[in-house]
Structure 1
Amino acid sequence: MASTGYTTMRTPIANKGLAFTEEQRQQLGLRGLLPAAVTSTEFETERAMAAIRRKPSPIEKYIFMQNMQNTNEDVYYRMLIEHTSELMPIVYTPTVGQGCQEFSHIYAQHPRGLFISVNDIGHVAEILDNWPEKDIRAICFTDGERILGLGDQGANGMGIPVGKLSLYTACAGVPPQMCLPVVLDCGTNNEEYLADPFYIGLRQKRVRGEKFEQLVEEFMNAAKAKYGDNVLLQFEDFGNSTAFNLLRKFQKTHCTFNDDIQGTASVVLGGLLAAVPLSGKKISEQTFLFLGAGEAGTGIADLIAQAIAQETGKTVEESRKQIWLVDSRGLIVESRKESLQHHKLLFAHDAPACPDLLSAIDQIKPTALIGVCTIAKAFSKEVCQKMCENNERPIIFALSNPTSKAECTAEEAYTFTDGKCIFASGSPFDPVVYNGKRFVPGQGNNSYVFPGIGLGIVAAGITHVDDEVMIIAAKTLASLTTPVNLETG
């Protein structure tokens, strides 16, 4: 049997490393298990920051942070809290994308969440009992089908719930022991992973239909029964074919939201509201064109429609007429209704068909162009310049994650528009100097809202999450924009 001291050092939430005092070392049986030096958590954080800054690549830094989280949570969260701008791109987008792709090869052999597979149907409640913490307030869970813009990552998608819940703690103060990351492993259609001998998930094609729905429903109900009606269940990176249906099914019966549909919508609406002083037009005076019509695109579009309705008194249905979507087959219009997925139908307006983005810009003459298509370079020089033909300050948001999937870079956007555009991206870009002016790109990443939304839900103990919560979060985010932010782009 391991000694009490040894067990303490192997427990991330209890371990303080060299920050244990002499008295604590005596009481906990730590003498001899640690070097003689007695420091402090502050000093150990400095040591850890010095070490991570020596790492040669983002993925090496990601692995370092993963190991720190698994050994000393005090230092891990202090690092994140004190160096958020430096480390958020490591524990979250864009580096977490590579972390997921390599998850099976860097797997830390330490339980950092629950893996529940379709083979566990009928035993989900027992699996929840296996988790050592009993007072869980926030659960982030994924089936790994649509991780960022990287597609089906299967069980490797665990990196996303772990990263998101880390930000619940670092950015909003939700105690880490109250957060639970979960993967619902239904297999994967990623042939590379199915052929990978090191892959940690179910080695089978993705299960869909009744069995998939049975697993999700059993999990939702078991979590609610165990942790209470107000436990937050955050859907994360489910595929387009299931995400909307699952949200509709559980939104009225469970405390839940889908971050890709609603959280992303909230932060983008916040960015658009913040851009009003620069564009000179209210939300209700804008015309929006989306490239991409999946979870993120239609989620953002619908929240914008609700905001327009609030601002003008128009119906949401009428407000949607200012919002247009382009998918892989061109502009979504009424004549395509027979072949459209359900979530696209609300934005199928009466207009001539357009085969591509450029012709859609010509026809619609949007004031705001929003990219959520995960196609790099989709916002070409021609596209960006076309936006300038009808707008003095066009809004261009290239929101796809990770950075490799962004529709354009910040430098391209500012260069192509001669510094005129109001730009934001999903993943961070460095500041750009163009024609002697320094631009600091905005980041339209849902990490700016989901920790606060999560804290509000947990603190208030609410049992249902409606879209009004997302609009309030967007307005609050926009109100934090400073004159300096506006001046630099």
Structure 2
Amino acid sequence: MVRSTSLLRAVSKDHHILGLRSRGIDIIRNPRTNKGMAFTLPERQVLGIHGLLPPTVLTQEEQLYRTMQSFTRQPTDLDRYILLAGLQDRNEKLFYRIVSENVESMMPIVYTPTVGLACQRFGLIYRRPRGLFVTIHDRGHVFELLSNWPEESVKAVVVTDGERILGLGDLGAFGMGIPIGKLALYTALGGVKPHQCLPIMLDVGTDNEDLLDNKLYIGLRQKRERGPVYDELVDELMHAITERWGANTLIQHEDFANANAQRLLDKYQQRYCMFNDDIQGTAGVALAGLLASLRVSGKQMKDHKFLFQGAGSAACGIANFLVLQMIEDGLTEEEAVSRVWMNDADGLVVQDRPAGMSGTKARFAKDHPHLNNFEDALEIVKPSILIGACATAGVFTEKVLKNMALWNERPVIFALSNPTSKAECTAEEAYTHTEGRALFASGSPFDPVTIDGTIFRPGQGNNAYIFPGVGLGAIVCGMRRISDKVFLRAARTCADMVTELDLSQGRLYPPLSSIREISVRIAVATIQEGYDDGSATLDPEPRDKEAFVKSKMYDFRYDSFLPILYDWPEEAGFQATDQQFSNFRDMT
């Protein structure tokens, strides 16, 4: 069915739908519709914005070049972050195209490590509303707050309470930079449409005294609320999100403290379409890198012994996924768990240690004498895979790294803590102290390292390899829940995309430039898992899942206003389909 131009003429008279000249200024003020200097002369004339822009007409490619010139001339990474945030506020399509086509240079700015600094300075760089702030004082009225959000088709929500931002600790309301950054990657790397994304800051106060005394702090100036009142607020938020936008709205928990992260995941995983990226996303990306390392070491996962420095929610998430993988390799659960050792700030995780035990780490507690010193624990365990998730810089000392190389021909060393300043060791240290034999990956990016004339390009175990594709797949097939198996499948999909060339260069992950392609593959794997376990609600099941996923992804190209705005005669050959008309109506 098509809409004739006579119908379009009638509709164009409706001020509330098109508005034309009276709303031309609104079109260039709206980041979703603004094209900057890419508006053509006819568009400017019909929209009534002729003269409001410089006379030069630029293509999107020319705008991209000019923006990149400005980007590279900024003196600091924080200035680059602010420049990109300003662009996102003005011109969404240009922003997402720049990030999507320049992932390796943009990822460290849009997300780790610069986003950590941006969160610390959030009171200085806050410019305009982006997302919702729900406070502890809004209990009983959360649905009303969500109703204030103007979008009727939210599909992805990222929520944090700001208590454990990266490795920086409690940043309270300043942690809003994390959901904003995550959702920017959902669009740039996963193709989720930006108007379907909503960041939420759950402000229950902060225990950070520096913030409470900071005149620039924008959150509640009170101690962090805990206990039943906190749980009631989270319960109300989860229910309100699904009541407002539907039961298959994706909800991602981000940077909750260890005491809450796993507990809330266990509570909600079977009730909502939700996941915790710090637990499942980190576990998925770590498992992907470890699976890729097996192709170099020639071993199976069950042949390795693991030692974690750090036993929080991220470490336990990785450990649980490793157990699942080893069970698939043929071990019993008891045998798999026995191969995983953990050490944290209170020493080796053993059954009778003085500090006691809490959380999921208890599953990995060993019947062994207590040890306080990490290097002593390393000597006892003699692991073949060493994983850092403790946010303690330099804990993988020269002695630790040399011992790993002494016991293993190809020691696997993952320094996963973010930001870079919290990494357990640098890439240079890992390669230097293992004579270039380490299979190394990190949570934050490191530059290539040259050892005896060989260039190593360390892989970054960034969650962005996993969560955009999982989110995209869950959204387009209407999943009602997201199981751990989704992330296991995503990890294997990512590992399969590591080439022999990547491995020869020291990479355990594909190049960041290929993340959008990886996201498509992971989205397809997620959809398949959804139909396998019955959680997908889209009916009928798409036959060509890859084509279906691509058809649902965000298009960075500018829309043309002319077909709708021009009152062209029928004989000119233009007719608008229902879809074109709907797209324009939604856009304006």
TM-score, scaled to structure 1: 0.98
Aligned match for 1:147, one of 165, 170, 176: 165
Matched, 1:443 2:437: no
Q: How far 1:29 sits from its partner (Å)?
A: 2.1
Aligned match for 1:57, one of 67, 72, 76: 76
Matched, 1:39 2:86: no
Match of 2:471?
454
Match of 1:18?
37
Larger mean CA deviation between 24-33 and 186-195 belongs to: 24-33
Q: How far 1:198 sits from its partner (Å)?
A: 1.4
Counterpart amino acid of 2:265? L
On the 8 A contact 1:337/1:348 being kept in 2, the answer is: no
Output aligned runs, 1:71-90, within 5 Å: 71-90=90-109
Match of 1:91?
110
Structure 2 CA distance for aligned equivalents of residues 86 and 391 of structure 1: 34
Matched, 1:162 2:219: no
On the 8 A contact 2:153/2:245 being kept in 1, the answer is: yes
Structure 2 CA distance for aligned equivalents of residues 357 and 364 of structure 1: 11
Matched, 1:433 2:433: no
Structure 2 CA distance for aligned equivalents of residues 71 and 309 of structure 1: 50
Structure 2 CA distance for aligned equivalents of residues 277 and 356 of structure 1: 33
Matched, 1:255 2:273: yes
On the 8 A contact 1:188/1:194 being kept in 2, the answer is: yes
Counterpart amino acid of 1:394? P
Structure 2 CA distance for aligned equivalents of residues 165 and 12 of structure 1: 16
Q: How far 1:291 sits from its partner (Å)?
A: 0.1
On the 8 A contact 2:346/2:355 being kept in 1, the answer is: no
Match of 2:213?
195
Match of 1:423?
440
Q: How far 1:281 sits from its partner (Å)?
A: 1.4
Match of 1:413?
430
Structure 2 CA distance for aligned equivalents of residues 219 and 24 of structure 1: 43
The structure, 1 or 2, with the larger RCO (C-alpha pairs under 8 Å, 6+ apart) is 2
Larger of the two Rg values belongs to structure: 2
Q: Secondary structure at the match of 1:336?
A: coil
Q: How far 1:25 sits from its partner (Å)?
A: 1.4
Q: Secondary structure at the match of 2:70?
A: helix
Structure 2 CA distance for aligned equivalents of residues 384 and 440 of structure 1: 18
Unpaired runs of at least 5, structure 1? none
Structure 2 CA distance for aligned equivalents of residues 482 and 352 of structure 1: 43
Match of 1:179?
197
Aligned match for 1:356, one of 360, 363, 373: 373
Q: Secondary structure at the match of 1:414?
A: helix
Structure 2 CA distance for aligned equivalents of residues 175 and 317 of structure 1: 44
Counterpart amino acid of 2:290? L
Output aligned runs, 1:338-353, within 5 Å: 339-353=356-370
Q: Deviations over 1:366-401 (max 9, x none)?
A: 000000000000000001011112101100000000
Q: How far 1:23 sits from its partner (Å)?
A: 2.0
On the 8 A contact 1:17/1:72 being kept in 2, the answer is: yes
Output aligned runs, 1:235-246, within 5 Å: 235-246=253-264
Structure 1 CA distance for aligned equivalents of residues 353 and 293 of structure 2: 33
Q: How far 1:8 sits from its partner (Å)?
A: 1.6
Counterpart amino acid of 2:269? Q
Q: Deviations over 1:290-333 (max 9, x none)?
A: 00001111011011111111121x34343111101001121101
Aligned match for 2:298, one of 252, 263, 280: 280
On the 8 A contact 1:288/1:322 being kept in 2, the answer is: yes
Q: Secondary structure at the match of 1:216?
A: helix
User: What is the identity percentage for the equivalent residue pairs of Structure 1 and Structure 2?
Assistant: 50
Aligned match for 1:372, one of 374, 389, 401: 389
Q: CA RMSD in A?
A: 1.4
Structure 1 CA distance for aligned equivalents of residues 236 and 65 of structure 2: 44
Q: How far 1:337 sits from its partner (Å)?
A: 8.7
Q: Secondary structure at the match of 1:366?
A: coil
Structure 2 CA distance for aligned equivalents of residues 403 and 14 of structure 1: 37
Structure 2 CA distance for aligned equivalents of residues 222 and 315 of structure 1: 41
Q: Secondary structure at the match of 1:424?
A: strand
Matched, 1:306 2:324: yes
Q: Secondary structure at the match of 1:423?
A: strand
Structure 2 CA distance for aligned equivalents of residues 114 and 181 of structure 1: 6
On the 8 A contact 1:369/1:395 being kept in 2, the answer is: yes
Q: How far 1:6 sits from its partner (Å)?
A: 2.0
Q: Deviations over 1:336-363 (max 9, x none)?
A: 3981112211000222322222111111
Matched, 1:8 2:23: no
State the aligned residue count: 487
On the 8 A contact 1:133/1:178 being kept in 2, the answer is: yes
Q: Deviations over 1:218-240 (max 9, x none)?
A: 10000011111111000000011
Q: How far 1:164 sits from its partner (Å)?
A: 0.7
Aligned match for 1:100, one of 114, 119, 122: 119
Q: How far 1:479 sits from its partner (Å)?
A: 0.3
On the 8 A contact 1:16/1:72 being kept in 2, the answer is: yes
Q: Secondary structure at the match of 2:90?
A: coil
Q: Secondary structure at the match of 1:171?
A: helix
Counterpart amino acid of 1:332? V
Matched, 1:127 2:158: no
On the 8 A contact 2:259/2:359 being kept in 1, the answer is: no
On the 8 A contact 1:142/1:184 being kept in 2, the answer is: yes
Aligned match for 2:130, one of 106, 112, 115: 112
Q: How far 1:280 sits from its partner (Å)?
A: 2.2
Q: How far 1:105 sits from its partner (Å)?
A: 0.7
Q: Secondary structure at the match of 2:302?
A: helix
Structure 1 CA distance for aligned equivalents of residues 353 and 247 of structure 2: 41
Q: Secondary structure at the match of 1:325?
A: strand
On the 8 A contact 2:161/2:256 being kept in 1, the answer is: yes
Structure 1 CA distance for aligned equivalents of residues 93 and 59 of structure 2: 11
Q: How far 1:60 sits from its partner (Å)?
A: 0.4
Q: Secondary structure at the match of 2:99?
A: helix
Q: Deviations over 1:260-307 (max 9, x none)?
A: 000000000000000002222111111110000011110110111111
On the 8 A contact 1:336/1:348 being kept in 2, the answer is: no
Q: Secondary structure at the match of 1:278?
A: helix
Unpaired runs of at least 5, structure 2? 1-20, 507-588
